[in-house]
Amino acid sequence: MPASVFKTSRRHSSASKKNSDMHIKVPLQGKVLAIALLLASMALMSYVAPLGMASAYYFKAEHYLMLWQRKPATLDQQNWQDAADAIAQAVQRHPTHPHYLLTQAKINEWGWYKGFKTAEQISENEQLYQSAIALRPTWPNAYADYAYFLAMVNFRITEAFDALKLANQYGPFIPETFARTFTIATHHWPVLNAVQKAEGLYALEKMVKNSYTTYQQAVTTTKQYKLERTFCLYLRLKKQEFPQSTQQRIEKDFCGVRR
């Protein structure tokens, strides 16, 4: 056989072997990639699935909490327990979500307010608020709610007003900030110092200006604590800042003037 033919045959044989190797390697690489993608997908699902369940439990708990805040008479202890169980499941699945932690604290306070739990039994709220604040340090709602817990559950008034300062720093015109300030101030009015009372009066002014809903809340709370005369005098001093219609409502609701 001629040498050239022999060399050509060897080249063809070598090329065929290389092509054969490539056909073997490509499917193997593809399988490795597919397995890697599958494992990555499984890992992602193992992370995402609990978060999705946490969100579902959170919305269930939040629904009950919002309903209690709007229509408390429509809910009973079983509704509270359902909310408490739901938010516990949410926090278990996503323990570093500040909204879940804050909601759990507020549902605990719902239970305390209704007598389902004692102040000692909701002492965990201290850590829940601290954790939520650490996770989101510029969130005014967390500071305002923490202040409410300090003042209304634990009677730590000075610390409550310290928390309110931070709430006002990060969200001075957020309704929850001035609503919490006003509630705390009216509840503890006789023992407040001059600075704390001034903050309560400024919160009253915001309640009156913000909306009809917050205005009515201010009226109800004022009458509950029999502070009409004090707040009437303050609002009269500020009357130029209110439209005429609001001035007339103030005279009727806070000052007892009937026309």
Q: Is 57 exposed, middle or buried (0-12, 13-18, 19+ CB in 10 A)?
A: buried
The answer to whether residue 151 sits within a structural domain is: yes
Instruction: Look at the block and give the residue holding tokens 């309110």.
Output: 164
Note the pTM of the prediction, 2 decimals.
0.79
Question: Looking at residue 151, which CATH number applies to its domain?
Answer: 1.25.40.10
112's CB contacts (< 8 A; 6+ apart) are 118, 119, 121, 122, 153
The answer to whether residue 160 sits within a structural domain is: yes
**Whole-number Å distance between alpha carbons of 174 and 160:** 17
The CA radius of gyration of the chain, in Å to the nearest whole number, is: 32
The answer to whether residue 4 sits within a structural domain is: no
The answer to whether residue 37 sits within a structural domain is: no
Give the residue numbers spanning the domain of 117: 52-253
The answer to whether residue 27 sits within a structural domain is: no
If one counts the domains in the chain, the total is 1
Token pair listed for 86: 């739901």
pLDDT tens for each residue of the chain, 259 residues long: 444 444 444 544 554 544 544 444 545 565 555 555 554 544 444 444 556 688 899 989 999 999 998 888 899 999 999 999 999 999 999 999 999 999 999 999 999 999 999 999 999 999 999 999 999 999 999 999 999 999 999 999 999 999 999 999 999 999 999 999 999 999 999 999 999 999 999 999 999 999 999 999 999 999 999 999 999 999 999 999 999 999 999 999 999 987 6
The answer to whether residue 2 sits within a structural domain is: no
The answer to whether residue 15 sits within a structural domain is: no
The answer to whether residue 199 sits within a structural domain is: yes
- Provide the 3-class DSSP secondary structure of residue 156: coil
Quick count: other Cβ atoms within 10 Å of Cβ 244?
Answer: 8
